[in-house]
A and B are shown apart, each in its own frame.
Chain A
Amino acid sequence: MATKEYAGKTVETTDDGYLINASDWNEEIAKEIAKEEGIEELNDRHMTVINFMREVFEKTGEGPSIRKLTKESGVPTKELYELFPKGPAKKAARIAGIPKPKGCI
């Protein structure tokens, strides 16, 4: 557990930088986390993915898999990898302020 300051707000995060409380999240915080992930600017398509992830998390308590993302968010897999290079599920979850996807056993 760690604390970090994003957009003038102090928030609790896990050791690998995921927000502990999804309710701490706002778009300003998302922009700063995105920069840490090497994404300089969040465009509409980024936000489509991020909002979809938050929606799924609020409903089910878990972030969606890539397959669910592409099937239901309207953003194709190829584009997901362009928007969030190297592991869209993990990266987009962090920017969306939801827990790191558990991955399966």
Chain B
Amino acid sequence: MKKLVILGAGTAGTMMLNKLHETLDRNEWQLTIVDQFETHYYQPGFLFIPFGIYNKKDVVKPKRDFFPKGAEVIVSEIDKIEPDQNRVLLKNNTVLNYDLLIIATGAKVKPEETEGMVSDLWHKNIFDFYTIEGATALANFFKYWEGGKLVLNITEMPIKCPVAPLEFVFLADSYFTERGIRDKVDIHFVTTLPGAFTKPKASSILGDILTKKNIHLTSDFNIARVDNENKKIVSWDEMEVPFDVLVTIPTNMGDDVIARSGMGDELQFVPTDKHTLRADNYDNIFVIGDATNLPSSKAGSVAHFEADILLENILSAIDGRELKAKFDGHANCYIESGFGKGILIDFNYDTEPLPGKFPLPGIGPFSLLEETKMNHYGKVMFRWMYWNLLLKGSELPIESHMSMAGKRA
């Protein structure tokens, strides 16, 4: 019996487990998945928690609900991968040998990477919303807040869901308007990027939306430390931004197990071929989702498109064939823009987000880079699709490779 081990049962790992369980011959392959946690979080839902739109129970389900029957599931922390020995050591003292390994250990926020971030004001006046703890603490804070300077700061790229910080300030504008205190809240978007977003067309269109919503933008700001006493963030070149409440998007890094195994880059991401998804240095290791160092977005949609490619390439690898399926960097993101509207962007490695229409059989078309109610419904509908179709590895009516249909170049 040959062994295929998946490390990490988040979005990417769970999808791969389901797809491989369907596809591989169970008399030939034993499938094992390892994760230290038993709860699956719908991470795109964290964004809505601070504004009371979702609460904790809207974003959690037991991981076991999404595992196929008969798959071997091990709940344990991973100690170390030993790629030269083709084995994984677990903290519960199990040793897992493998023929093929899929690393899907994701990315985590590391606020402690910034001096003064996790200090006196942490979860009192400084919050993150990329963890359930941060998002719920911020919801409690906002409920009773009467206004002041709200600063959102992106520490360092890359981050998970690069549109979420924009969505956050759009929703804040909407939320405080509905609470009747928008004129008392000064919203300030402070980013390490040269503009509102990474790619020129989207950056300019989204930048205009910030202006329209009276949200201030400070770009090229590289945070060095938080001054807790005077409530301000300070950049490496000594620029200062004062805040009453700071919402930080901390440094994102790959899992510590990657560093312990000596397999990561400076952010603990695994160097991975951006088309085949095979680890650069190991023929029998593949990497998917946020754990890779790919120059693509770290987002569920990306993991989903990668999963189709990875399945094909794993089957080729098993047959000893060349890896023919090529990932194109496709990402598809609904951006909540407040007041019941949303914006959609669709792009890949070579094509930046463009305006136009996005056809979707039976449901669409959606408008690209434009605020519409339809795009908001797309986002709302997505949570249902995530729990009921996507994690289970079912087909969705959207292609893995990006299409130019409807886009205006």
Cα–Cα distance between A87 and B297 once the two chains are bound (Å):
23
Could you tell me if A81 and B237 are in contact, using CB atoms closer than 8 angstroms? yes
Could you tell me if A87 and B224 are in contact, using CB atoms closer than 8 angstroms? no
B99 lies within 8 A of chain A by Cβ? no
Could you tell me if B237 and A104 are in contact, using CB atoms closer than 8 angstroms? no
Q: A67-B156, A87-B220 are in contact. Are A105 and B236 (CB under 8 A)?
A: no
Could you tell me if A77 and B193 are in contact, using CB atoms closer than 8 angstroms? no
Could you tell me if B331 and A77 are in contact, using CB atoms closer than 8 angstroms? no
Residues of A within 8 A of B156 (CB): 67
Residues 366 to 409 of chain B near chain A (Cβ within 8 Å): none
Q: A65-B266, A71-B266, A77-B224 are in contact. Are A104 and B157 (CB under 8 A)?
A: yes
Residues 280 to 309 of chain B near chain A (Cβ within 8 Å): 295-297
B158 lies within 8 A of chain A by Cβ? yes
CB-based nearest B residue for A87: B220
B198 lies within 8 A of chain A by Cβ? yes
Interface residue total, chain A, C-beta cutoff 8 A: 17
CB-based nearest A residue for B265: A68
Could you tell me if A67 and B266 are in contact, using CB atoms closer than 8 angstroms? yes
CB-based nearest A residue for B293: A104
A59 lies within 8 A of chain B by Cβ? no
A-B contact count (CB 8 A): 42
CB-based nearest B residue for A80: B236
B118 lies within 8 A of chain A by Cβ? no
Interface 0/1 of A62-95, CB less than 8 Å to B: 0001111001100001101100011100000000
Residues 251 to 288 of chain B near chain A (Cβ within 8 Å): 265-267
Q: Give the one of B199, B236, B295, B297 with max A CB within 10 A.
A: B236
Could you tell me if B198 and A103 are in contact, using CB atoms closer than 8 angstroms? yes
Cα–Cα distance between A78 and B295 once the two chains are bound (Å):
27
Q: A65-B266, A85-B237, A105-B297 are in contact. Are A78 and B224 (CB under 8 A)?
A: yes
Q: Give the one of A65, A68, A72, A102 with max B CB within 10 A.
A: A65
Could you tell me if B266 and A105 are in contact, using CB atoms closer than 8 angstroms? no
CB within 8 A of B331: which of A68, A104, A105? A105
Residues 147 to 197 of chain B near chain A (Cβ within 8 Å): 156-158, 162, 193-194
Least CB distance from B305 to A in Å reads: 14
CB-based nearest B residue for A71: B266
Name B's interface SS.
loop
Least CB distance from B25 to A in Å reads: 37
Could you tell me if A78 and B198 are in contact, using CB atoms closer than 8 angstroms? no
CB-based nearest B residue for A81: B236
Residues of A within 8 A of B331 (CB): 105
Cα–Cα distance between A70 and B71 once the two chains are bound (Å):
44
Least CB distance from A63 to B in Å reads: 13
CB-based nearest A residue for B348: A105
CB-based nearest B residue for A70: B266
Least CB distance from B48 to A in Å reads: 23
Could you tell me if B198 and A105 are in contact, using CB atoms closer than 8 angstroms? yes
Cα–Cα distance between A85 and B235 once the two chains are bound (Å):
12
Interface 0/1 of B218-231, CB less than 8 Å to A: 00101010000000
CB within 8 A of B266: which of A68, A80, A86, A102? A68
Cα–Cα distance between A81 and B237 once the two chains are bound (Å):
6
Q: Give the one of A80, A86, A102 with max B CB within 10 A.
A: A86
CB within 8 A of B236: which of A68, A78, A103? A78
Cα–Cα distance between A67 and B158 once the two chains are bound (Å):
12
Q: Give the one of A68, A77, A78, A105 with max B CB within 10 A.
A: A105
Residues of B within 8 A of A85 (CB): 237
Could you tell me if A67 and B267 are in contact, using CB atoms closer than 8 angstroms? yes
Residues of A within 8 A of B236 (CB): 77-78, 80-81
Residues of A within 8 A of B162 (CB): 104-105
CB-based nearest A residue for B236: A81
Least CB distance from B154 to A in Å reads: 11
Could you tell me if A105 and B158 are in contact, using CB atoms closer than 8 angstroms? yes
Chain B residues in contact with chain A, CB under 8 A? Answer: 156-158, 162, 193-194, 198-199, 220, 222, 224, 236-237, 265-267, 295-297, 329, 331
- Nearest first, the 4 A-B pairs at minimum CB distance are A104-B158, A81-B236, A104-B157, A68-B266
Extra 10 A-B pairs, beta carbons < 8 Å, given A78-B236, A85-B237, A105-B296: A65-B267, A66-B222, A68-B265, A71-B266, A80-B236, A81-B236, A86-B237, A87-B220, A103-B193, A104-B157
Q: List 10 A-B contacts (CB under 8 A).
A: A67-B266, A68-B265, A81-B236, A85-B237, A87-B222, A103-B193, A103-B198, A105-B198, A105-B297, A105-B331
